[in-house]
Amino acid sequence: MIKDITIGQYFPGDSVIHRLDPRVKIVLAILYIAFLFIIQTAAAYLFALAVTFILVRLTKIPLKMYLRGLKPLLFILIFTAFLNVFYSTGEPLVKFWIFTVTSEGIKNAIFMMLRIFMLVIATSMLTYTTSPIVLTGGLERLLSPLAKIKIPVHEFSMMMTIALRFIPTILEETDKIMNAQKARGADFETGGLIKRAKALAPILIPLFISAFRRADDLATAMECRCYTGSGEGRTHYVSYSMSSADYVSLLVLAAMIAAAVFLNFVTVMGF
Amino acid sequence: MSAVIEFQNVSFRYNEEKDILKNISLTIEKGDFVAVLGHNGSGKSTLAKHINAILLPSEGKVSVDGLDTSDDNNLAAIRRKAGMVFQNPDNQIIATVVEEDVAFALENLGVPREEMVRRVDESLNAVGMIEFKKHATTKLSGGQKQRIAIAGVIAMRPDIIVFDEPTAMLDPQGREDVVNITKKLNEQGITVIYITHYMEEAAQAKRVVVLNDGEILIDGTPHYVFQNAGLLTSVGLDVPQSTSLMFLLRNHGIKVPLAVLNEEECISVLTDLLNTKESINGSDFKG
């Protein structure tokens, strides 16, 4: 079950995209999403699709992996398309009962689906090509100016780091507890929903007790290594430096957004 | 030698019902290797946690290198001077990558990056884990994780390292590696406080302090402490097997020294004994 969730998964690799600075990647992903919301013409959508596919190829992660991330969103995709088809104003094409299908509606539906499709691919690309720990580090550096207005950026980042560090440990522990309970005759596989939910109690209770004990130990160990809880005066072991690839990709995306804004402006002005 | 850790009439309790530590006075010299022995609930871990101000005495005073642990202003300095390695290797590793974990204390201390990089390599070399620098911490064995935890402490360049049962959850190989590292660190001048319930490990220290029920039962060189095998067994502690064998021989009226701590010493005592026996027996036949 846990294995099916692809969002937030990381595929180790050494592609151009993998090597980009995590701060740049986060900014690029946000800018790209902004770009997707600015564009309005079919030509622009075709261009965006082409860019998306080129980027997917550059990551050297099979397209199949990206599509798998779309699966849970299939319902939302169809639902938005449906709403767009029937609730857009414009020239009616077909009319029956209370539904009116307009050509604008069909156009909007296709655009909206493409937009969500590329949005998911762009965000998946960020997590697929950046290890969670690097992502957290990048986010901390990006948001560090916010610490000045008393937003606990360092604390959030430390929480994320520890959570990520303990996921494998806790999973392993869950497995051990399940085996121990099975050896004592516990049954997790049969019965209805309620029976199965009840069967989880003998797993969750020991798991929570042990997690709290671990947290206590870890807090002591962190204190022993001079952790004071604040990000002030801390230095960082991992350093990020921007390469030419980082600058180039930022420039390209900035140019794309500028072009899209310009084209919109031109259309609105009625040229 | 000068005193580096001083316990002055220290008592500790979580609540009024029971004193975990009872009026303990203890002075530890710089560069010493002190094993603290005791069974579960003897207060040995509590004692250890007083050394770097994780716990503060309910009564009395603990000072580390002249700094009072109950003074908040001394906290950072004391924790930097006295590092601590715990029992469970999983619960003291903070980062997902080995080198980042070793650097954790240095990040907290605000050490500049270039210096950090140097010290991380140096510490990983000291525990023989340099080739695992880029590895994921969760994929290591228990003994390897414990060596990483030690490296993380060494990186702070402490004067004192407190080991709180560091081998209790390890396999024999991991245990041996950790013990060898502690000995090496002590040779380099670091004061080592080693909490354990393994007699064989305690026998390798320069000084053994035995705790029982929150009090110091006996304190001295391993030879001196294990000579009192009777006293140790009376409070539920074992003595090293070789010492125990000597004890049994003594009970049968055979004159052997009691303070025999390891297999080599034991072998030499036994061969001496057999040689002298042969000569006695030989003279018996003649007579």
pLDDT, one tens digit per residue, over B161-219 is 999 999 988 998 999 999 999 999 999 999 999 999 888 888 889 999 999 999 999 99
CB A126 within 8 A of CB A17: no
Q: Is A163 on the interface with B (CB under 8 A)?
A: no
Chain A: give the shortest CA distance to residue B237, in Å.
27
Q: Is B97 on the interface with A (CB under 8 A)?
A: yes
What does the mean pLDDT of chain A come to?
Answer: 84
Chain A: give the shortest CA distance to residue B113, in Å.
6
Domain boundaries, chain B: 3-233, 240-287
Q: Of the candidates B95, B99, B152, which has its C-beta nearest A165's C-beta?
A: B95
Distance CA A172, CA A244 (A): 42
Q: Is B267 on the interface with A (CB under 8 A)?
A: no
Question: What would the mean pLDDT of B77-104 be, rounded to a whole number?
Answer: 92
CB B232 within 8 A of CB B212: no
Distance CA B100, CA B88 (A): 19
CB B158 within 8 A of CB B82: yes
pLDDT at position A68 is 83
pLDDT at position A5 is 47
Mutation target vs B (from A237, A239, A240; most B CBs, 10 A cutoff): A237
The token pair that represents B201 in the structure block: 């490990």
Q: Of the candidates B96, B100, B109, which has its C-beta nearest A226's C-beta?
A: B109
pLDDT at position B220 is 92
pLDDT at position A75 is 86
What is the length of chain B? 287
- Per CB-CB distance under 8 Å, the chain A contacts of B117 are 237
- Per CB-CB distance under 8 Å, the chain A contacts of B152 are 225
pLDDT at position A189 is 78
Widest Cα–Cα separation across chain A: 77
Residues 6+ apart with CB under 8 A from B129: B98, B144, B147, B148, B151
- Give yes or no for residue B126 having a pLDDT over 90: yes
Phi, psi (degrees; rounded to nearest 5) at A90: 155, -165
For A120, half-sphere exposure in the C-beta direction (CA atoms, 13 angstrom radius) is 20
- Tell me if B94 and A236 make a contact (CB, 8 A cut-off): no
Mutation target vs A (from B46, B98, B107; most A CBs, 10 A cutoff): B107
- Tell me if B107 and A222 make a contact (CB, 8 A cut-off): no
What does the mean pLDDT of chain B come to?
Answer: 88
Q: Of the candidates A133, A224, A234, which has its C-beta nearest B54's C-beta?
A: A224
**pLDDT > 70 fraction of chain B, expressed in percent and rounded:** 95
Question: What would the mean pLDDT of B90-119 be, rounded to a whole number?
Answer: 92
pLDDT at position B5 is 94
CB B164 within 8 A of CB B86: yes
- Give yes or no for residue B281 having a pLDDT over 90: no
Which residues of chain A register pLDDT less than 50? 1-7
Q: Of the candidates B86, B96, B153, which has its C-beta nearest A217's C-beta?
A: B86
pLDDT at position B285 is 44
* pTM (2 d.p.): 0.78
Cα–Cα nearest to A241, from B169, B187, B113, B84: B113
The predicted complex's ipTM stands at 0.82
- Tell me if B86 and A221 make a contact (CB, 8 A cut-off): yes
Scan for tokens 């020294």, then name that residue.
B257
Chain B: give the shortest CA distance to residue A241, in Å.
13
Question: Could you report how far apart the first and last alpha carbons of chain B are, in Å?
Answer: 57
pLDDT band at B121 (very low <50, low <70, confident <90, very high): very high
Q: Quote the strand ranges of chain A, DSSP E.
A: 92-96, 99-102
Residue B7 pairs in a beta bridge with: B26, B62
Residues 6+ apart with CB under 8 A from B67: B74, B77, B78, B81
Distance CA A252, CA A250 (A): 6
Cα–Cα nearest to B211, from B26, B29, B43: B43
Cα–Cα nearest to A59, from A249, A194, A229: A249
Query: Cα-atom radius of gyration of chain B, to the nearest Å?
Result: 22
pLDDT at position B286 is 42
Q: Which amino acid is at B56?
A: L
Residues 6+ apart with CB under 8 A from B266: B242, B245, B246, B260
Distance CA A163, CA A96 (A): 54
For residue A66, how many other CB atoms are within 10 A of its CB? 20
B35-to-A215, A220, B54, B64 alpha-carbon distances in Å: 28, 22, 20, 18
Percent composition of chain A: helix, strand, coil (DSSP 3-state, to 5): 75, 5, 25
Q: Of the candidates A220, A225, A228, which has its C-beta nearest B104's C-beta?
A: A225
Per-residue DSSP letter, A63: H
pLDDT at position B218 is 92
Q: Is A12 on the interface with B (CB under 8 A)?
A: no
Q: Of the candidates A168, A222, A238, which has its C-beta nearest B100's C-beta?
A: A238
> What CATH number should be reported for the domain whose range is B3-233?
3.40.50.300
pLDDT at position B280 is 59
Of A113-122, A194-203, B50-59, B70-79, give the lowest mean pLDDT range. Answer: A194-203
Phi, psi (degrees; rounded to nearest 5) at B12: -140, 135
